[in-house]
């Protein structure tokens, strides 16, 4: 009987760490190859069944919807099913390594609930120069018992978060609430446990950009607001992650990590600076356009991103703090509303650089801001973001 010589190559692919704004973009490391020739019949598992049903369930996930071919969509369903079931050594429908890598990243961008995988391995079965098939395995960082324990704690965190939300909120208000909730309940920490996935925020209360973004995505998707992960860099060239959300059919960018005002406080102020206090939340990156985002961010995502142009649900527009022209009466009303509602700061955004410069000159250089303060004081802390054309005042 003739025996077939089968060449088997196993490659290990992991995803590099995105440590907030201090790491490179997600990319593959060079694979480690283990090669052996065997005189054997193929002993790998059969392909996934019911992929058509899984494909239909994935419609609406942003990265999935960008896939161009039926073959890519089928492979997506296969990889998703393997990762959800924590399976190993499952034959997939593609024999193209680059396609497998691309589709794997699409799955991970769409599914923050797969928090226990940080890469994959594939085994290529070849006869001579011909690849017969590829078997795919997820690289899992936790065993099944640990996954279940983490999921229980994640569920408890999300339930508490959602239960505290006003049930009357519209979609914008839900996005704003989750943005604020994550910032108030999460410490930015480069050393945080599991900081590349939702466990860092939901279980440990500390994370970096990818943990923030995946948790935002995870909760908003549960609230019925389509959200996906976006990968790129910031203006310093460092890797970063944030979100694309859909509100009433319009796309917006949301960056909860940069929502921490720690990144923006410049320490400007008249006289002695106003102590160590600062606003805890910066709203410059809550529901922004592509143009606004790209003053500081560079999009380098695995799939193309849409052009976000709507300002309808931008934070400043919704909160009445968007100045198309400089009017002191509008500013006075915002300060009065802040004091009446117990807010600790007032934040303002201008439509153009000219309006921004006029506002800054009048309020800061001419010190007109003091006429809007309730208490007599000789100093005030503020944030000046010329990229976003915003001024935020801390009411200490």
Tell me the mean pLDDT in the region 166-180. 97
Task: Give SS3 for 300.
Answer: coil
Task: Give SS3 for 249.
Answer: coil
Whether the pLDDT of residue 67 is over 50: the answer is yes
Exposed/middle/buried for 162, CB within 10 Å: 0-12, 13-18, 19+? middle
Q: 96-135, pLDDT tens digit by residue? A: 999 999 999 999 999 999 999 999 999 988 888 888 899 9
Tell me the mean pLDDT in the region 240-263. 90
Whether the pLDDT of residue 253 is over 60: the answer is yes
Q: 147-160, pLDDT tens digit by residue? A: 999 999 999 999 99
Query: What does pTM read for this prediction?
Result: 0.85
Q: With contact defined as beta carbons under 8 Å apart, do 205 and 182 qualify?
A: no
Q: With contact defined as beta carbons under 8 Å apart, do 328 and 334 qualify?
A: no
Q: With contact defined as beta carbons under 8 Å apart, do 100 and 75 qualify?
A: yes
Tell me the mean pLDDT in the region 249-266. 79
Helices and strands of the chain, counted as H and E runs? 12, 17
Q: Please give the residue that has the higher pLDDT: either 24 or 226.
A: 226
The DSSP call for residue 261 is G
Q: Is 162 left (phi over 0), alpha (psi -120 to 50) or beta?
A: alpha
* φ, ψ for residue 150, nearest 5 deg: -65, -40
Could you tell me the pLDDT band of residue 278, with boundaries at 50, 70 and 90?
Answer: low
């Amino acid at each position: 009987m003739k025996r077939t010589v089968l060449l088997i190559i196993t490659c290990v692919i992991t995803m590099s760490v995105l440590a907030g704004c201090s790491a490179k973009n997600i990319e593959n490391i060079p694979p480690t190859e283990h090669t052996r020739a065997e005189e054997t019949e193929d002993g790998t598992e059969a392909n996934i069944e019911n992929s058509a049903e899984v494909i239909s369930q994935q419609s609406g996930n942003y990265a999935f919807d960008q896939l161009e071919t039926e073959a890519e969509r089928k492979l997506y369903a296969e990889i998703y099913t393997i990762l959800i079931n924590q399976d190993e050594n499952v034959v997939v429908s593609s024999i193209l390594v680059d396609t497998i890598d691309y589709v794997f990243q699409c799955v991970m961008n769409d599914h923050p609930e797969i928090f226990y995988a940080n890469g994959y391995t594939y085994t290529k079965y070849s006869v001579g120069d011909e690849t017969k098939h590829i078997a795919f395995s997820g690289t899992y960082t936790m065993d099944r018992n640990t996954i279940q324990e983490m999921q229980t704690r994640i569920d408890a965190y999300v339930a508490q978060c959602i239960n505290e939300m006003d049930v009357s909120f519209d979609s914008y208000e839900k996005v704003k609430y989750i943005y604020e909730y994550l910032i108030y309940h999460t410490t930015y920490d480069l050393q945080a446990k599991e900081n590349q996935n939702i466990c860092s925020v939901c279980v440990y209360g500390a994370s970096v950009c990818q943990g923030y973004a995946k948790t935002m995505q995870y909760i908003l998707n549960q609230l019925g607001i389509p959200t996906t992960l976006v990968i790129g860099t910031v203006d310093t060239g460092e890797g970063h992650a944030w979100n694309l959300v859909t509100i009433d059919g319009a796309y917006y960018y949301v960056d909860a990590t940069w929502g921490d005002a720690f990144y923006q406080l410049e320490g400007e102020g008249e006289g002695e600076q106003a102590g160590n206090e600062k606003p805890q939340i910066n709203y410059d990156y809550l529901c922004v356009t592509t143009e606004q985002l790209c003053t500081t961010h560079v999009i380098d995502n695995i799939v193309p991103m849409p052009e976000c142009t709507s300002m309808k649900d931008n934070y400043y527009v919704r909160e009445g703090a968007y100045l198309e022209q400089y009017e002191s009466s509008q500013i006075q009303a915002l300060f009065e509303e802040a004091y009446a509602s117990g807010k600790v700061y007032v934040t303002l955004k201008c439509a153009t650089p000219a309006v921004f410069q006029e506002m800054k000159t009048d309020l800061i250089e001419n010190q007109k801001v003091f006429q809007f303060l309730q208490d007599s004081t000789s100093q005030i802390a503020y944030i000046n973001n010329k990229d976003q054309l915003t001024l935020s005042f801390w009411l200490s």
